[in-house]
A and B are shown apart, each in its own frame.
Chain A
Amino acid sequence: MGVDAARARPAARPLRAAGGGGLLRGLVTTYLSLLVLIPLAAVVWRASSDGAASFWRAATTPQALAALRLTFFISLAVVAVNVVAGTLIAWVLVRDEFPGKRLVNSLIDLPFALPTIVAGVTLLALYGPRSPLGLNLAYTRAGVLLALAFETLPFVVRAVQPVLLTIEPDAEEAARSLGARPLTTFRRILLPAMTPAILAGAALAFARAIGEFGSVVLLSGNIPYRTEVAAVHVFTLVQSDDPGGAAAVSVVLLVLSLLVLAALNLIQRRRTRHAE
């Protein structure tokens, strides 16, 4: 019945105003402002309160520059290593089967759960002066790299795993049946699908690495110009009662993190646009 009955396209449901609105939002915003925004604003304010020239001077002392440069490049290296290792581990966890796989999967989150200082002590036990492996990385840049690799390992793994889980083996099998060798399949089908996730994990890992303190502070020996990372330098400046200097270096770190996270945001937004 109803041959000519009006059959309109389903209209988009208009947004309903949510309940409790303003008050809850106000409380949430207040909490965030008091806890996060105001303290961070204080750092920025302190760094810039004596003018741009003063900021520049404080942020570019030889020791600060050394620390920042070291931090930046080691973090890049660590992220590069963990992108490869993390993707590999994610692959093995998703596509391979072996006894104890579930245990291994749980272990990935260990760096998230373990306090950073304990991580430092732990790494020292194995790779320090009395290393049972005879491998002493204390006071070296390799040690810093190791500590950062430990702390940032889960980011890429956990970012890539869900993506791999949703890619069914069918796509790879189809490619193989069409003659593609495993490496080609990986390169042309899997990698493009995983790239946004890898980048997301890498960005988070980088942001984490440049600010890392607890795991590095014991292992590296904090030798200025050699193994002193930016966070340790900030700490030293605070201890030596130079909050202005500390604030300046902190602002550099903050800007760097925010840039990386903004880039991540952009990638993710483009990804959702493509998915539509």
Chain B
Amino acid sequence: MSIEVRDVTKRFGDFSALDSVSVEVPGGSLVALLGPSGSGKSTLLRVIAGLERPDAGAVLLDGADVTGVPVERRAIGFVFQHYAAFKHMTVRRNVAFGLEIRRRPRREVRRRVDELLELVQLTGLAERYPAQLSGGQRQRMALARALAVQPRVLLLDEPFGALDARVRSELRAWLRRLHDEMHVTSVFVTHDQEEAMELADRIVVMNHGRVEQVGDPRELYERPANDFVMRFVGPVTHLGNTVLRPHDLDLGLEPDDADGAEAMIERLVHLGFEVRAELVLADGQRVLAQLSRDEAEQLDLERGQIVYVRAARARALAG
């Protein structure tokens, strides 16, 4: 089930949330909508879902125009950031909801719910109420609920945003595995570029209601289309007028050619495998360099030491 968004515009009063946005999501892929708050990514997701109507443009599911079709008839699955659990229903009733709406026979509903609970590893918690579950469990329930009606498309709005770091990373891995198993076309919204890079086949980077770049994680990282994408998708530092990735800087103890700028190490941060060097140039400019532990050891770096900084690879801007 492919998704196509064509020239969609959405305004809220004076505020332009989406400005003629076009996006294509190939069937079976896992796509991330990545951007800062206010970039329009959640709005775009909700337009795809049918929870918002665009002021202009069209939404197509598998080539069919569904722009005028209300959300309840689009056969999508939606997972909310704060779970949107039906608080007064048990986990079982929550997951069964979509099936009960469709008046499926009771035995079938029961079977399917049991299957799903097993899939999301919540068997045994079926008779609990959402308030009795942890955040991670609630979100898994929400996923089971969304999957129960076999949606053509799965949409997730910052699904792990309300969870703590450890649960977040567990669920991320788990979601990727689930997707690999089920191959449901999935689109998820996040402001965390690490999450997008880790999970998605393709990333749509958005800012101020517009699409900045679409590509796979590597493309975005190595060939960002513009400044914004470069800054958003990975760490950046400046050397003179050039913008680079911190690990694209070379540090040397000798000023062996004209490029090397003299810098003093203000601070060395050892982060396990990598070492971050906070440098300051003669003119006061602050530069951040990133080395592997071995590289740092080889150079025998110390705080206060003078080193020479050079760009190892010039920043490449995608055409």
Are A and B close enough to touch in the complex, i.e. CB under 8 Å? yes
The interface stretch among B88-96, B176-184, B234-242, B293-301 is B234-242
Verify A5–B235 contact, CB threshold 8 A.
Answer: yes
Residues of A within 8 A of B43 (CB): 14
Tell me if A11 and B37 are in contact (CB < 8 A): yes
CB <8 Å contact, B235 and A14: no
A-B contact number at CB 8 A: 44
Pick from B38, B231, B233, B288: contact of A11, CB below 8 A: B38
Chain B residues with CB under 8 Å of A5's CB are: 193, 231-235
Find chain A residues with CB under 8 A from B13 CB.
14-15
User: In the complex, what's the smallest C-beta–C-beta distance from B87 to chain A, in angstroms?
Assistant: 20
B interface, over-half SS: mixed
Residue contact B236 to A4, C-beta cutoff 8 Å = yes
Closest to A3 in B: B235
B37: contacting residue among A1, A2, A8, A16, CB under 8 A: A8
Instruction: Please report which residues of chain B, range 44-84, place their CB below 8 angstroms from some CB of chain A when the two chains form the complex.
Output: 52
Q: A2 to B234, Cβ gap below 8 A? A: yes
- Cβ contact within 8 Å between A15 and B12: yes
- Asked if A9 contacts B37 (CB within 8 A), the reply is yes
Contact A2/B193 with A15-B13, A16-B12 known, Cβ cut-off 8 Å: yes
Contact of B12 with A2 in the complex, beta carbons under 8 Å: no
Q: Which of A2, A3, A4, A9 contacts B194 (CB 8 A)?
A: A2
Output the residue of B37, B43, B231 with the most chain A CB within 10 A: B37
Residues of A within 8 A of B15 (CB): 14
Q: How many A residues face the partner with a CB closer than 8 A?
A: 14
The yes or no answer to A24 lying at the interface (CB within 8 A) is: no
Q: Is B246 an interface residue (CB 8 A)?
A: yes
> How far is it, in angstroms, between the C-alpha of A7 and the C-alpha of B193 when the chains are bound?
11
Q: Which residues of A contact B36 (CB under 8 A)?
A: 6-8
Give A267 to B237 CA distance when docked, in angstroms: 54
With contact pairs A14-B13, A14-B17 given, residues A6 and B235 touching in the complex (Cβ less than 8 Å):
no
Which residue of the partner chain A has the closest CB to B51?
A: A16
| Chain B residues near A10 (CB-CB < 8 A) | 37-38
Place the interface of chain B in its size category.
20 to 34
Interface residues in B157-216 (C-beta closer than 8 Å to A): 193-194
Question: Roughly how many angstroms separate A94 CA and B267 CA in the complex, as a whole number?
Answer: 58
Which residue of chain A is the closest to B288 with respect to CB atoms? A3
Residues in B whose Cβ lies below 8 Å from that of A14 = 12-13, 15, 17, 43
Q: Is there contact, CB below 8 Å, between A1 and B234?
A: yes
CB pair A1–B38 under 8 Å, yes or no, is no
**How far apart are the CA atoms of A6 and B192 in the complex, in Å?**
10
Contact status B228-A6, CB under 8 Å: yes
Chain B nearest CB from A6 CB (Å) reads 5
**Alpha-carbon gap, A1 to B246, bound state (A):** 11
| Cβ contact of A16, chosen from B52, B194, B228, cutoff 8 A | B52
Shortest Cβ distance from A205 into chain B, in angstroms? 37
Among candidates A4, A9, A11, A16, residue contacting B237 with C-beta atoms closer than 8 Å: A4
Q: How far is the CA of A7 from the CA of B235 in the complex (A)?
A: 12
User: What's the least CB distance linking A4 to chain B, in Å?
Assistant: 5
A-facing mask of B1-33, CB < 8 A → 1, else 0?
000000000001101010000000000000000
- Complexed CA–CA distance, A3 and B267 (Å): 15
The distance in angstroms between the C-alpha atoms of A5 and B197, with both chains bound, is: 14
How far does the Cβ of B157 sit from chain A's closest Cβ, in whole Å? 12
- Separation of A5 and B37 alpha carbons in the complex (Å): 13
Residue of A nearest to B197 (CB): A1
Shortest 6 CB-CB distances between A and B: which pairs? A11-B38, A14-B12, A8-B36, A3-B235, A4-B236, A10-B37
Q: Told that A5-B235, A8-B38 touch, could you supply 8 new A-B pairs with CB distance under 8 A?
A: A1-B235, A2-B235, A4-B237, A10-B37, A14-B12, A14-B15, A14-B43, A16-B12
A-B contact pairs, 6 of them (CB 8 A): A2-B194, A3-B235, A3-B288, A4-B237, A5-B235, A6-B232
